[in-house]
Structure 1
Amino acid sequence: MTETSIPADADSVVQPRPAVGRLPKYVAGKPPVDVPGLESFKLSSNENPLGPVPAVMDVLRTAADIHRYPDAGSTRLCAALGEFLDVPAADIVPGAGSLGALNQILAAFAGQNDNGVQDEVIYAWRSFEAYPICVGLAGAKSVQVPVREDGSHDLPAMAAAVTDKTKVVLLCTPNNPTGPALGAVETEDFILSVPRDVVIVIDEAYQEFVRAGDAVNGVDLYRKYPNVMVLRTFSKAHGLAGLRVGYSLSQPEITQYVRAAATPFAVSGIGESAAIASMENYSQVVERVQSLVDERDRVMAGLKDLGWDIPDAQGNFVWLPLGRNTQEFAALAQSQALSLRAFGDDGVRVSIGEVAANSRFLEICASYTKEPRRS
């Protein structure tokens, strides 16, 4: 048989959809480099350095059915979450982390229509780095509304950005990477100002770390408004980042469509059992979270004592609006065996980690004399 060679011209090269070529690249937090004489710490991915509670580790050690497919609907998880949150289990749709759950929402409600017109998805910026990627892959158009100078959502500006093409609004609270949480009153005012056929997603990946007295609780608003959805995850507070367990919560009018777009077997059986065990031992989760909140408050106080002008921190991270000094500062930290998450020329996000890591971070800040110190 004679082999036929195909010319390697431009027309013969496999190409993705145009939308894929326009997507920004997701940049995961890098591990620290080894520095002689220093213990390395990773503060770049908002991971829980304390890990899961002991009962979860027991589940992982005794797991023996990984050769079987999990329950496609994660029925036990939904039942446990329903009891935990005091909501109907049928209102919960599991996903592979809150990101997987978000992709299911976008698949159901935002994309390119049969007439070729793109739906619009509004979100604050800078916010969660995956938003523009998820929106673009869904075929929809991103509408980014700049955050205020203090890193918070500009809700009036977001409301003004709503058009007849708007299908979904994403509210990230606390906002990743800048840190402030949305207030309950301002969020409800926003919901009331938006048409009722627009899906409003309250992304609460870091909800357990919030201590602001006026902060919104998405579950309260989901109960009141049929177009409000809540995203939550077991990755952060529960320390299950590697198991990918998240979920969305919405009333039946919305849930029916999200479930139709959901990925089968998105949550593994091990992940389901681990999440249930964590909820059953939630008092221990709360203790671990509070220890990280205490460390966050120590770091924030230390930065303020140094004269650093930074946004309020309500997640398990702090934001340094370093501007043009972003990459320089991240490199300085890397030279001291700390990996931080640098975002272009906007700033650096620093996860709250081990006590020693946080202390070294403060020492680096004390030696750094450029912005964002107050003048």
Structure 2
Amino acid sequence: MSSEDTLGVKLRPEIVSVPPYKQGRPAPADGFKLSSNENPYPPLPSVVDAVAATLRELNRYPNATGGDLRARLAERHGVGVDEVHLGSGSVALLAQLIAAAAGVGDEVVYAWRSFEAYPGLVTVSGATSVQVPVRADGSHELEAMADAITDRTRVVIVCSPNNPTGTVVTGAEFEAFMARVPSDLLVLLDEAYYEFVTDDDAVDGIPLLSRYPNLVVLRTFSKAYGLAALRVGYAVGPAAVLDAARSAAIPLSVTDAARVAALASIDAEDELMERVARIAMLRDRLRDALIEQGWNVPVAQGNFVWLATGEQTAAANDAFFDAGLTVRAFPPEGIRISVGEEESVEKLLQVAGDIVRNLPNGHPGKRLG
């Protein structure tokens, strides 16, 4: 959009220049949607029943505090209720926390490529993005991120597992990083895919909160718990920081349907985590098969894999779509493929095999030898 498209209405030029967030492509008829990191399993009957019960009170505003869900999460994580904050997905919490800490003239540091919403959230707050390139394997270069911190930095975002590359930050790496971060600088550890992690060395943010009073950990019910349509996430951290986020939040943005669905999902957690384990096993099988084809695939710890297709990204995206598979393209870097239904794997690998065979030798997405 250009300034001429606003018909003379005065808008912030930096906002006008930001492309709106775009969802993953819908799947073609009889195809598979692998573009949005959704949980492929349908909601449990107990969760559906809990949500259905809220429909009788659609004329009422939702429970503003979400006290029952916050208390349940606080008990689980060994913190006070005021140290838990709910939002309409973890992205809403990110927006609130960035807005609470950073404004015009300030900087927000994060790895790139990482979650595509980060640049827009920073721009809307009025702050400036400082993007630190990820390593060749798609992982965070935390030493370089620490080097990028200046007197203007107000927030640092660390994403583990990193979306879209799937790599994790280890606990040792994170602690070394926090040792370099000023104690008054807000650090947001985005753990939206935490439940899918099988690497014992990966950082686990919530047990670290007692050591770092400037740390906030973000998690969500959208992915592992399969509640993407209801938009509910939570932050755990210092009450004073979360109070500031609450002040920046849109009131009543977490619906009762989302709240009770999250509670019902916690009640059914054993069954849901069995699903998560199956997704993680399929992810590992998929990665192994892609490597066998000749792809250079980062170690995947979310519910997705990353193909560094580079300049061939648009063509590869079209090839998947023509075969009935929607994937998420990030031209000119690569493609993120969600782990979906088991039935999607054979077709996915068939297309991926054709693509990698046509990549030139020396291409970053292609293994040597």
Q: Which range, TM-score by smaller chain?
A: over 0.9
Secondary structure, aligned partner of 1:93: strand
| Structure 1 position 367, deviation (Å) | 2.2
- Deviations, residues 69-114 of structure 1 (Å, cap 9, x unaligned): 01111111101111222221110111110001111101211112xx
Aligned partners of 2:295, 2:7: CA distance in 1, in Å? 55
Alpha-carbon RMSD: 1.5
Aligned counterpart for 2:159 among listed residues 172, 179, 193: 172
Distance 1:216 1:10, change over 3 A: closer
- Deviations, residues 356-375 of structure 1 (Å, cap 9, x unaligned): 11221111112221342223
Aligned counterpart for 2:23 among listed residues 14, 18, 28: 28
Aligned partners of 2:157, 2:163: CA distance in 1, in Å? 12
Q: Does 2:326 match 1:311?
A: no
Matching residue of 1:252: 239
| Structure 1 position 61, deviation (Å) | 2.7
Q: Pairwise mapping of residues 110-259 of structure 1 onto structure 2 (< 5 A)?
A: 110-112=102-104, 118-259=105-246
| Structure 1 position 317, deviation (Å) | 0.3
Aligned partners of 2:6, 2:39: CA distance in 1, in Å? 48
Q: Pairwise mapping of residues 310-329 of structure 1 onto structure 2 (< 5 A)?
A: 310-329=297-316
Aligned partners of 1:245, 1:99: CA distance in 2, in Å? 10
| Structure 1 position 318, deviation (Å) | 0.2
Matching residue of 1:370: 358
Aligned counterpart for 1:42 among listed residues 25, 33, 44: 33
Matching residue of 1:13: 8
| Structure 1 position 254, deviation (Å) | 1.6
Matching residue of 1:5: none
Q: Does 2:332 match 1:339?
A: no
| Structure 1 position 11, deviation (Å) | 10
Aligned partners of 1:119, 1:309: CA distance in 2, in Å? 37
| Structure 1 position 336, deviation (Å) | 0.6
Q: Do 1:124 and 1:171's aligned partners in 2 also have CA atoms closer than 8 Å?
A: yes
- Deviations, residues 28-60 of structure 1 (Å, cap 9, x unaligned): 1011223xxxx3110000000103333211112
If you compute each CA radius of gyration, which structure gives the higher value, 1 or 2? 1
Report the TM-score when normalising by structure 1: 0.92
Matching residue of 1:108: 100
Aligned partners of 1:55, 1:212: CA distance in 2, in Å? 31
Aligned partners of 2:41, 2:161: CA distance in 1, in Å? 21
Q: Structure 1, unaligned stretches of length 5 or more?
A: 1-8, 113-117
Matching residue of 1:94: 86
Secondary structure, aligned partner of 1:224: coil
Q: Does 2:286 match 1:299?
A: yes
Aligned partners of 2:53, 2:277: CA distance in 1, in Å? 29
Distance 1:331 1:252, change over 3 A: same
Q: Do 1:66 and 1:270's aligned partners in 2 also have CA atoms closer than 8 Å?
A: no
Name which of structure 1's ranges 131-140 and 13-22 shifts more when overlaid on structure 2.
13-22
Distance 1:12 1:202, change over 3 A: closer
Percent identity, aligned pairs only, is: 44
Secondary structure, aligned partner of 1:143: strand
